[in-house]
Amino acid sequence: MYITVHGTKTALLGKEQSVGNEAPAARITRLDGSQNVIGMIAPTVQLLIAIPSLKTEVCSLGAKKFNALIKEVPKLTTYMITTDDRDFVKEYAEKESIDSAEIVIDTERNFAKKYGLLISEGKLKERLARAVFVIDRDGRIVYKEVVPEIVDEVDYDACIEAVRNTLNIRKKGHTHESWMSV
């Protein structure tokens, strides 16, 4: 897959994921230095937000927008994933009051490679492409957006709508109305 970085076509490395695929488990580093795994089957719906660098205006704005938007969404686990250094990210999270999501670091580029988001060249080499994934409780990718131009923002409305739709899905099975209509 390709994106553009300031108009220059740039390849993304790793395994491209599609809606309907099982979300791969990816190892990330928490701000306390511990390792965790995100993706795959989980007790809650997951929103994974790939952020190239919180040091840039577009990324910082996106993190703040998502933080505000997801405050109103219960039963959602949100991870903002970046490749920035841990000390900077800790300071950023405190300064900007990012409290609706957990900001984590893709230190080994495990997430980037498993989700096909690793920028292959240029000044953003080894950074993440800007992207969002919504993963349902069964571990399936139900929404994906990889932003075609790195300086553009994600479609916040479409992403939050996908989150809400995923949270409202009811389990299939017996319902009172279905057995009465037989």
Which residues are identified as catalytic?
A: 59
Measured distance CA(174)–CA(139) in Å, rounded: 23
- The token pair at 17 is 């994921």
C-alpha separations of 108 from 82, 111, 113, 141 in Å:
11, 8, 9, 22
Residues 26 and 110: their CA atoms lie apart, in Å, by: 6
Which one, of 26, 159, 41, 49, lies nearest residue 100 by Cα? 49
- Phi, psi values for residue 45, rounded to 5°: -65, 140
CA 129 to chain centre: 11
